[in-house]
């Protein structure tokens, strides 16, 4: 009799699934059945080894991957996985922190600040410290703080050898103070606090290490130092840790991922069993051979020789376009030819690129051709104003100390509470040593009997009314469902009427609110805390719809996405655009060998998404701020053997020989419409960084930056000694150059 858990596995997969207890390192090449191995291993432990689900923790990097794993295992073992910890690193850490909040500087109802909230807090920190946010960009400062947290460094641990390091350390300290004031954490805090909690509290660490007899980890190559330390703590007692990864697919170095954790694992566990999964079930051999030639240039990796039983397949199409408009037109024309021949549907195609900015030209070409597409972006839905408003209302109910949410919604819809009143509210809170939300609740409960009534000013009745609403919402939260709370907030604030005031966008905005309500409905049983945590931890890939299941269009839609977002996905036909030096590899990698290696891995990931046909495209020139920027072919293209490639488009041409009529390579309607766009005129800015200038109103200042828009209008950023930073239109400012 066959074994349903093992019969359809190849020998290497079976070896991994049935490996004995201990430390197991599975290096799984793209398309080698990584998910199958993980799910079968989990099912094998439960079904064959009789390990209770309660004793297992399985960690993934996306909610989508966690759901898929759970559904597959439940189908295999035919029972629920009650008690198992299965989810993302951040979700697991949030769970630990809420349970162990007594040992932490925040309470268990903490909220998780998203990227926008984090940026707001960094800006406020810079302001509080009187540090110029033009000289020290908030995004850069936050990136440095994030990197420190990934390395488990607190503000007191930060280096202070340079002025820049001193600034980052000071801002980091103030940033953490503001987070604690808000009873909030950011994404990195979830890992930082969990790792330090286990490191500094042996009793807590032992509790979880004893609890989890088996630790399973997906995408191990994307772990950072904090995550690696967490895994070591969780597996410290039973020492059963099963990790699956691939150094060649480590593409998140910019957010702390360290592929060298694979090597650390082998060093820390010298007795570990290493298993290579090299049989690919996705791509043709041509695609695999080309991808291997690209990645083989990297050092510090385990060589893998991917093979497939799918045959050689088609040659890779390498297309050289005159410019980015012709590049986009080629993509559209090719897809339309497939669709008209009924050899494919739109869901079969993906267009991938290095940076989000590259999507604009592609989108325009798709729109001109009336070709359906879905753009995978960074949490587009959750970043919309009306969605963020409603989330902040809910966060404020959950955690009244969340001042970021309070400041966002206290005047939404407008209720006559201005900046002066908000400042008075904050000052009252500061003097009392409590949060502004606590002051608000007291005003709502006690009215003019509140000790804070006289401190707020003339608008205090309006503030108290909002405080009364917040008190009522908290009662609703404790007595009824999330959806009931959601509806009550919408009703009490007249939010539907508010979003529908914008006649141009009223339907879309209200539909977005309703979509958030639908999502809330799915968390009726889990509660508000789980709902808000899920929203905060959603990833790009979690927003990617499954095939065309929810798409009522007969042809579905072409997927447009960055190479970073493509991880774990697959498509019949893949177009990778922008294979130019400076784009892929990105210009930032030019002087950094580690960055260049990551760019190579990024292309490798993109190439191995293709099942049947791979297109590699580049353009001889691209449109920039009103001018053309010329480029050379990506160095990565030279790594691929000519016998694997079919060249199309402009062949062996020198860029200086290009003429306007050369890019009329196609006669389709979309191509004609696209190439007729004319680059706007361009002029050099009059003012340059470093210039000293003077105005009658503000005196002397220093030019920081100057830009000319396509219409010829020059915008100048100036730091004046008297008033600080100002952004001015040169045509109106009467700036005198000194």
Question: 219 catalytic, yes or no?
Answer: yes
The one catalytic residue in 34, 41, 304, 567 is 34
Residue 79 belongs to what H/E stretch?
none
| Cβ atoms of 349 and 559 closer than 8 Å | yes
The one catalytic residue in 219, 258, 386, 580 is 219
C-alpha 717: how far from chain center: 30
Question: 62 catalytic, yes or no?
Answer: no
Q: What is the 3-state secondary structure (H, E, C) of 527-562?
A: CHHHHHHHHHCCCCHHHCCCCCCCCCCCCCCEEEEE
How does strand 692-695 pair with strand 699-708? antiparallel
The one catalytic residue in 174, 609, 618, 621 is 609
Q: How far apart are CA 586 and CA 595, in angstroms?
A: 9
CB burial class (10 A; 0-12, 13-18, 19+) of residue 418? Answer: exposed
CA distances from 643 to 289, 314, 496, 634 (A): 11, 11, 61, 18
Listed in sequence order, the residues at least 6 apart from 407 whose beta carbon sits closer than 8 Å to its beta carbon are 422
Q: Classify 591 as helix, strand or coil.
A: coil
The one catalytic residue in 118, 181, 223, 249 is 249
Residue 722 CB neighbours (<10 A): 10
Residue 4 CB neighbours (<10 A): 11
Q: How many residues does the chain have?
A: 738
Question: 35 catalytic, yes or no?
Answer: yes
Helices 460-479 and 385-398, packing angle to 10 deg:
80
Question: 653 catalytic, yes or no?
Answer: no
The one catalytic residue in 18, 35, 438, 715 is 35
Question: 524 catalytic, yes or no?
Answer: no
For 474-512, give the DSSP string. Answer: HHHHHHS-HHHHHHHHHHHHTHHHHHTTSTTTHHHHHHH
Structure tokens at 412: 């939404």
Q: Classify 580 as helix, strand or coil.
A: strand
Q: How far apart are CA 424 and CA 432, in angstroms?
A: 12
The one catalytic residue in 218, 246, 327, 580 is 218
Question: 671 catalytic, yes or no?
Answer: no
Q: How far apart are CA 244 and CA 89, in angstroms?
A: 15
Nearest to 470 by CA among 393, 531, 391: 393
How does strand 628-630 pair with strand 714-720? unpaired
R_g of the chain computed on alpha carbons: 28
Residue 389 CB neighbours (<10 A): 23
Q: Classify 583 as helix, strand or coil.
A: strand
Say which residue the tokens 């508000």 belong to. Answer: 528
Structure tokens at 144: 């440095």
Q: How far apart are CA 306 and CA 31, in angstroms?
A: 9
| Cβ atoms of 192 and 147 closer than 8 Å | no
Q: How far apart are CA 608 and CA 34, in angstroms?
A: 14
- What amino acid positions are annotated as catalytic residues? 34-35, 218-219, 249, 609
């Amino acid at each position: 009799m066959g074994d349903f858990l093992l019969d359809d596995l190849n020998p290497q997969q079976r070896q991994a699934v049935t490996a004995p207890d201990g430390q197991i390192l599975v290096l799984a090449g793209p398309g080698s059945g990584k998910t199958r191995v993980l799910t079968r291993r989990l099912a094998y432990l439960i079904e064959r080894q009789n390990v209770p689900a309660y004793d297992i923790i399985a960690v993934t990097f996306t909610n989508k991957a966690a759901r898929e794993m759970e559904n597959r295992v439940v189908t295999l073992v035919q029972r629920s996985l009650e008690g198992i910890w299965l989810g993302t690193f951040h979700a697991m850490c949030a769970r630990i922190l809420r349970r162990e909040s007594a040992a932490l500087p925040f309470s268990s109802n903490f909220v998780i600040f998203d990227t926008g909230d984090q940026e707001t807090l960094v800006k406020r920190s810079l302001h509080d410290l009187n540090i110029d946010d033009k000289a020290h960009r908030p995004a850069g400062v936050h990136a440095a703080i994030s990197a420190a947290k990934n390395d488990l460094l607190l503000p007191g641990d930060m280096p202070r050898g340079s002025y820049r390091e001193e600034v980052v350390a000071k801002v980091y300290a103030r940033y953490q103070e503001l987070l604690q004031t808000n009873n909030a954490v950011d994404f990195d805090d979830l890992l930082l606090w969990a790792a330090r909690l286990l490191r500094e509290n042996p009793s807590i660490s032992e509790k979880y290490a004893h609890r989890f007899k088996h630790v399973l980890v997906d995408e191990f190559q994307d772990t950072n130092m904090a995550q690696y330390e967490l895994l070591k703590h969780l597996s410290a007692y039973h020492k059963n840790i099963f990790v699956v990864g691939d150094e060649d697919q480590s593409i998140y170095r910019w957010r702390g991922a360290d592929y060298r954790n694979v090597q650390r694992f082998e060093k820390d566990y010298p007795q570990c069993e290493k298993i290579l999964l090299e049989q690919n079930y996705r791509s043709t051999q041509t695609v695999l051979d080309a991808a291997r030639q690209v990645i083989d240039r990297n050092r510090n990796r385990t060589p893998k020789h991917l093979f497939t039983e799918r045959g050689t397949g088609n040659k890779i199409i390498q297309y050289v376009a005159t410019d980015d408009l012709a590049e986009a037109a080629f993509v559209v024309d090719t897809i339309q030819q497939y669709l008209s021949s009924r050899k494919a549907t739109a869901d079969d195609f993906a267009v991938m690129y290095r940076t989000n900015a590259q999507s604009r030209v592609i989108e325009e070409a798709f729109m001109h051709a009336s070709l359906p597409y879905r753009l995978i972006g960074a949490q587009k839905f959750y970043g919309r104003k009306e969605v963020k408003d409603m989330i902040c209302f809910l966060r404020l109910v959950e955690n009244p100390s969340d001042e970021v949410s309070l400041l966002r919604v206290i005047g939404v819809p407008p209720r006559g509470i201005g900046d002066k009143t908000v400042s008075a509210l904050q000052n009252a809170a500061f003097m009392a040593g409590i949060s502004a939300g606590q002051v608000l609740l007291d005003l709502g409960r006690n009215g003019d009997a509140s000790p804070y009534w006289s401190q707020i000013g003339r608008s205090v009745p309006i503030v108290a009314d909002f405080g009364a609403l917040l008190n009522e919402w908290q009662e609703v939260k404790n007595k009824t469902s999330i959806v009931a709370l959601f509806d009550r907030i919408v009703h009490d604030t007249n939010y539907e009427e508010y979003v529908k005031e914008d006649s141009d966008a009223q339907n879309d905005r209200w539909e977005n609110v309703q979509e958030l309500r639908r999502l809330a409905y799915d968390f009726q049983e889990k509660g508000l805390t789980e709902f808000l945590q899920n929203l905060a931890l959603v990833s790009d890939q979690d927003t990617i719809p499954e095939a065309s299941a929810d798409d009522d269009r007969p042809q579905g839609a072409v997927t447009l996405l960055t190479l970073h977002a493509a991880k774990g996905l697959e498509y019949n036909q893949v177009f990778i655009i922008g294979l130019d030096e400076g784009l892929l590899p990105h210009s930032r990698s030019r002087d950094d060998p580690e960055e260049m290696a990551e760019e190579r891995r990024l292309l490798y990931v993109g190439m191995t998404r293709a099942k049947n046909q791979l297109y590699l495209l580049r353009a001889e020139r691209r449109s920039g701020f009103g001018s053309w920027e010329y480029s050379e072919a990506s160095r990565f293209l030279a790594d691929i053997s000519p016998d694997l490639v079919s060249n199309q488009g402009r062949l062996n041409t020198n860029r200086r020989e290009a003429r306007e009529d050369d890019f009329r390579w196609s006669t389709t309607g979309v191509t004609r419409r696209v190439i007729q766009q004319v680059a706007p005129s361009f002029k050099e800015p009059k003012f340059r960084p470093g210039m000293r200038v003077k105005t009658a109103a503000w005196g002397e200042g220093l030019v920081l930056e100057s830009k000319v828009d396509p219409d010829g209008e020059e915008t100048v950023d100036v730091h004046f000694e008297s008033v600080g930073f100002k952004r001015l239109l040169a045509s109106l400012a009467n700036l005198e150059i000194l």
